[in-house]
Structure formats: C-alpha cells, structure tokens
Amino acid sequence: MKAIRLAAFGAPDALQAVDSPTPEPRPDQMLVRVAGCGVCGHDLLNRAGHFPHTPLPCVMGHEVAGEVVEVGSLITRFRVGDRVAMIQRIGCGTCIACRNGQENICTSGPGFYGEQISGGYGEYVVASEMNTLHLPDAIPMDVAPVLSCAIGTGYHALRRAALPIGSSVLITGASGGVGIHAVQLATLAGLEVIGVTTSPAKAAELKTAGAHHVVFAGEGGGFHKEVRDITDGVGVDCVLEIAGTPTFPSSVRALRAGGRMVVVGNVDPGNWPFNPALSILKELEFIGSAHATLNDLRKVIRIVADGKVRPQIGRVMPVAQAAEAHRAMEAKEITGRVVLMHEHAMAA
C-alpha cells in the first residue's frame, strides 16, 4: 500500500512517501481502506521523538475513518462496504479495563494506531469490533476522521469532569482541534465556557464556537487574574487542561476552592512545577483523561449527525502533504483539525 512513513524521529521532513506492507487482519479483525486521517498534536510529538516506545519505522495517524474491504471469520457486526469510524486503540476485550467499558486505557490489546498498529497515513488499517462503529451517510468522509479524537477526546474529558449544568469551565488550547470542539460540547452541555488561546486573531472563532469569554495566554501564562475578574473573584469550577506546560500554573490558580482539573494533554512533554499546598488548602481535584471510549464515539456520531456540534476542519490536504500539514500545525496556522485524505477518497 501507499503510505507516509516515519523512519526516524525528527522534523516534518522525516515523513516520507513509501510502499509499505498492507496490514493483515486476524480472524477477529477487519481490513479497512482508509478514506481520511486527522492530524493531531500527538502526531507532532510522536514524530519529534517524545514517545520513544513507538517502534520505527512506523505509519502514523490515529484519527481514522474509511470503508471495510475484508472481514475476518469471527466478525459478525460488519460486512464489506460498511462505512466506519474507529477509536484510536484496539483493546483486548478481556482485561478489567475492557470489561468496564474503558477499552481506551487497555494495555493488553494490539495497541494504538500510529504506534503499535499501522495507522491512517497508510491506505489500509486493521480494525476490530471492539474499536469500530458504523458511520451514517450524513457524515462525509472528510469530516469522519475527527470524530474519535478531536471531538471524542473533549467529550470524554467533560464526562470525566461530571459538571452540573451552569458550572463554569476553563478550556486551555481552545483554538486547537480538541479545544474548539470541547468549547462546543461544553456550551451544548449548558456550561459557562472560558476559552484560552495564545492568538487574539482566533478570538472571534472561539466566540462563534460558543465561548462566553476568551482570555489570552502569553509565554508565561498569566491569565488567572483575568479569569478571577470574570468569575467575581471566585475562580472556575473546572479546567480542561489541554495545553499543559505553558498554561498549567495559571490554570491551577484559576480554579475555585474545591474545583477540579481534568488533564487532557501536554504540548511540551515533561514534568510540571507544582506546589502541593495549593491542592491541600483549596481541596483541588486532579483527574486524568485519555481519549474516547467506543461508547463516547457512539454518542459523538449521534451528536454530529444531528447537527448539534459542527466539526471544525481547518484544512483538507492530500496524505502526500503530511509533512506540510505538520509544519502548518507547528506554526499554529490552523484553527481546528487538518484532515489528510487518501487519493482514492479525494477522487470519489
């Protein structure tokens, strides 16, 4: 198959077009012809070498949608020709996490697309009934790739936050792919939304997405005072921490006493400086949040098909331009997600 492969960690030019072996599905798997694949900040970090457990060479891309072209003998719910979307990880189906509906944190299955499993920068991927759902005709293939990660990650984080209607939530990295959809989802859930961005030019887009307030983070953060002014000195009920290192210090100070932070991402992997006295004196809660479960994706598909959330596709590009897509994202030129489309899907 044609693929964009990462042979060595490095700059965007490390992504090279190659002929790569087509993945071979097991009896309990399907072969999916990939239509499109989203480009996530996780991809940029992986390409740069921040996830050294990724075996090289690898075919990257974990935001995948396409069409089933082959089914294993144990597959019962899918057939050739089905349009499908997948969550990022194939679980084992038998561990405690999978039995509890937490297949997103399974460590016993085949693994994560673009890392342990050949990903969507290639023409074909394997999939399982444990990570795949049917895609309604109402959702086009240049939109479908963003469902599981760009939208599903924020959906999962808000579910983890468990906030009552009317609560206030601060969302960092709000103009990114996960952030701008989290803004829409939080507004849909009846929350008071404050979006944090480094770009004043993106304020209008965040307001259109539903943010009630937009604040700006400089290099040292420093937005918590403005957040306290907005909340009459109280602070917010919750922070969705998507940006991580650049915003974490201000995010903690923006929380009200008894507030909670849901940690979703980190654009600059590494440890964060943290004074535990803050969490003790203010009784703060810190909750980790990974990507969507299969049931999260099921809800996201319904919400998008019903028009309640508008997928924000900043740019659609051919897979052959994956390196350029990475450069554009690193330059923060994109609001929302970049979707890479395979040649056969662009011609359809």
Q: Is residue 52 part of a domain?
A: yes
Q: Per the domain annotation, does 301 fall within a domain? A: no
340 Cα distance to chain centroid = 15
Whose CA is closest to 93, among 174, 164, 38, 29?
29
DSSP-assigned beta bridge partners for residue 63: 38
Burial of 6 (0-12, 13-18, 19+ CB in 10 A): buried
Residues 61, 130 within the same domain:
yes
**Residue 134 and residue 266 in one domain:** no
Phi and psi at residue 201, in whole multiples of 5°?
Answer: -65, -20
Indicate if the pLDDT at residue 338 is higher than 80.
Answer: yes
Q: How many domains would you assign to the chain?
A: 2
Q: 186, 213 in Cβ contact below 8 A? A: no
Confidence of residue 315 (pLDDT cuts 50, 70, 90): very high
Cα gap 141→342, rounded to integer Å: 11
The answer on 167 and 272 residing in a single domain is: yes
With cut-offs at 50, 70 and 90, classify the pLDDT of residue 200. confident
In this structure, the answer to whether residues 243 and 130 fall within a common structural domain is no
Spatial distance between the Cα atoms of 87 and 10, rounded to a whole number of angstroms: 26
**pLDDT of residue 220 exceeding 70:** no
Crossing angle for the helix pair 152-161 and 177-188, nearest 10 degrees?
Answer: 50
- Please provide the DSSP assignment of 64-87 as one string: EEEEEEEE-TT--S--TT-EEEE-
Q: pLDDT band at 226, cuts 50/70/90?
A: very high
Tell me the residue length of the chain: 348
User: 68 and 33: one domain?
Assistant: yes
d(CA 42, CA 52): 13
Is residue 132 in some structural domain? yes
Query: What pLDDT is attached to residue 105?
Result: 97
* Average pLDDT of every residue of the chain: 95
CB neighbour class for 340 (10 Å; exposed up to 12, middle 13-18, buried from 19): buried
**296 occurs within a structural domain:** no
Whether 166 and 261 share a structural domain: yes
Q: Is residue 340 part of a domain?
A: yes
Name which of 212, 152, 221, 161 is nearest 182 in CA terms: 152
Distance CA 55, CA 52 (A): 8
Mean pLDDT (whole number) for 327-341: 93
| Whether residue 159 is found in the same domain as residue 95 | no
Indicate whether 138 and 172 sit together in one domain: no
- What is the C-alpha separation between 89 and 152, in angstroms, rounded? 13
Phi, psi at 133, each rounded to 5° = -135, 155
Query: What CATH number should be reported for the domain holding residue 69?
Result: 3.90.180.10
Q: Is residue 305 part of a domain?
A: no
pLDDT of residue 242 exceeding 80: yes
Residues 82 and 103 in one domain: yes
Dihedrals phi, psi of 14, to nearest 5 degrees:
-70, -15
Q: Within this chain, do residues 158 and 229 fall inside the same structural domain, yes or no?
A: yes
Distance CA 93, CA 130 (A): 7
Final residue of a domain: which of 238, 256, 288? 288
Domain containing residue 10: 2-143+311-347
Q: Are residues 133 and 222 in the same domain?
A: no
| Residue 22 forms part of a structural domain | yes
State the pLDDT at residue 93. 95
- Asked if the structure places residue 306 within a domain, the reply is no
Cα gap 87→65, rounded to integer Å: 9
Judgement on whether residues 138 and 159 belong to the same structural domain of the protein: no
Predicted local confidence at residue 348, as pLDDT: 65
Lowest mean pLDDT among 45-54, 72-81, 96-105, 205-214: 45-54
Entry pTM: 0.95
Rounded CA gap, 260 and 269, in Å? 22
